[in-house]
Amino acid sequence: MKSLITGGAGFIGSHLAEALIAGGQEVFVIDNLWTGELKNISSIQQHERFHLVVDTILNESVMNELVFKVDHIYHLAAAVGVKTIMDHPVETLDTNVKGTEVVLRLANRFKKKVFIASTSEVYGKHVEHTLSEDDNRVMGSVKKRRWAYACSKTLDEFLALAYFDEKKLPVVVGRLFNTVGPRQTGRYGMVLPTFVQSALLGKPITVFGDGNQTRSFTHVLDVVQAVTRLMEEPAAEGEVFNVGNDHEVSILDLARVVKEMTGSDSKIELIPYEKAYGPGFEDMERRCPNLDKIRRVIGFEPKYDLEAIVRSVIEYFKS
């Protein structure tokens, strides 16, 4: 089996590449190293079954050659992180929309199975219940740059399912919920590594808003397990799946857990959204997945609880 991972030098992509190599696959990675890093793939970069191409997925001639060579495509390349989205809206939309169009069009040319990494952001401002795959979306105004990422990934999903329905291309869509773990950086606004780094350095742990917004965090190895099993399951084709952990925690409580587990003297400070991202910023108050569908189709159950997740991030930064 040969697989292509777009964004394979990134946080999730590098863990996926390691897992596929360990499973005996030949792995091709394309990454422009905008947010990915060579150190993420240092353990496998010299492996005889690993091949790295440093380029953009918008380079169609390169992508055409890579897609032709492989059996499966894991499309993870995207502009990620709230800070990236707020600072680079054009690049966000270009990468997320045009890049996915290139991947799907070339995959269809050679009829190669594709996993499309989507996001819990597509649900928008739901607060009333855990989020199920068939729920309506509740988006903010197009004047709010915050929602550009969610809308770009929504278009990716529509396009993937259109290829499945019209072209019979085997596709699987996974909506990832706050994937965290070793190698994730806080550079682009990711909350858990930011908290851990601040705590270990004795700096204030800054919580945006009132801290009552909730999230559910999933260890990257649980995500890799879910994604690879979905790609192996024929019943998953043409479907959308939540990929996450259904344990919910407030961001303020997460800061307290990090402070306690690091033994830090850092103060927890509340920072208004306007100060962090500018006037008019909107956030999602809740983001917790309903996992009934992925449990039913592949028997998925996350193995890492919140304490184990936080501990793995602390150990990574200490090392």
Is residue 173 within 8 Å of residue 159, measured between CB atoms?
no
- Cα–Cα distances (Å) from 255 to 37, 46, 191, in that order, read 27, 38, 9
Task: Give the SS3 label for residue 245.
Answer: coil
Task: Give the SS3 label for residue 130.
Answer: coil
Q: Which residues contact 41 (CB under 8 A, 6 or more apart)?
A: 8, 9, 14, 17, 29, 50, 52
Task: Select which of 74, 149, 188, 277 is catalytic.
Answer: 149
Task: Give the SS3 label for residue 75.
Answer: strand
CA 63 to chain centroid, in Å, comes to 21
**Among 50, 31, 37, which residue's Cα sits nearest to residue 99?**
31
Q: Is 142 exposed, middle or buried (0-12, 13-18, 19+ CB in 10 A)?
A: exposed
- Look up 277 and say whether it is catalytic: no
Active site residues: 149
